[in-house]
Amino acid sequence: MPQLLVLAAHPLETKYFPEDIDLVLTGVGMSAAAVRTTEAVLTRCPDPARRAELTVLNIGSAGALKHGLTGVLEPSRIINRDVDEELLRAAGIPVDNVIELGGDGPVLATGDSFVAGGPARDALAARADLVDMEGWAIAVACRHLGVPLRMVKHVSDAADEEAVAWAEKVELSALALGRWFRGSGITGA
């Protein structure tokens, strides 16, 4: 029987989701997201042979790195923005820094630092379209555990100096994500 597990970093992002869904809050950042995702999957599906019956839906807000990106988006690829691929490759260390989700959506870059403008944001915009702080960790955990993943993000800000007002902006993301979920036809709660 198919089962749905919804993961979000922060309770403000899930404010308009039904109360009867299986929802786990991962907390902010990659370490917390990896641990909570792994715990949640192993609790629900301790048998690896049955994990394909569980689908993880990661929802949340994201900052847009490209002008014109708005609304609810489904990333097609995720990168770990905290990894220095060139340096590791130069040292002879293999780099597994991309997870393909399929489709033709934007590229999501995940890292532990909050992106709020400046040179780091500008450099990141050359590699990705969106930025968050949990997606990569959730994707790695799901891939390792053999669990299907669907990721849906809402653009809450432009990852610029105004992003620090995230707590004020996330209400729009919560509304849009709740509306998306109700209209998606996704079941399994």
| pLDDT tens digit at each of 189 positions of the chain | 679 999 999 999 999 999 999 999 999 999 999 999 999 999 999 999 999 999 999 999 999 999 889 999 999 999 998 888 888 888 988 888 899 998 889 999 998 877 777 888 888 999 999 999 999 999 999 999 999 999 999 998 877 777 666 778 888 999 999 999 998 888 654
Output the CA torsion sign for 180, 185, 187, 189: positive
Range of the domain at 170: 1-182
pTM over 0.75: yes
pLDDT at res. 160: 75
pLDDT at res. 157: 84
91: domain CATH number is: 3.40.50.1580
Residue 49 falls inside a structural domain: yes
Residue 189 falls inside a structural domain: no
Q: Long-range contacts of range 172-176, CB-CB < 8 Å, 24 or more positions apart? A: 173/13, 173/60, 173/61, 174/12, 174/13, 174/14, 174/15, 174/16, 175/15, 175/16, 176/71, 176/72
pLDDT at res. 188: 52
Rounded Cα distance between 12 and 143, Å, is 27
pLDDT at res. 61: 93
The residues with which 24 forms a beta bridge, in sequence order, are 7
Rounded Cα distance between 147 and 55, Å, is 6
Q: What is the tally of structural domains in the chain?
A: 1
pLDDT at res. 189: 43
pLDDT at res. 88: 83
Residue 187 falls inside a structural domain: no
pLDDT at res. 169: 82
pLDDT at res. 143: 96
Helix/strand/coil percentages in the chain, nearest 5:
40, 25, 35
pLDDT at res. 135: 96
Residue 146 falls inside a structural domain: yes
Tokens linked to 158? 């432009």
Rounded Cα distance between 132 and 85, Å, is 19
pLDDT at res. 108: 96
Q: With contact defined as beta carbons under 8 Å apart, do 26 and 37 qualify?
A: yes
Residue 69 falls inside a structural domain: yes
Q: With contact defined as beta carbons under 8 Å apart, do 79 and 98 qualify?
A: yes
Residue 82 falls inside a structural domain: yes
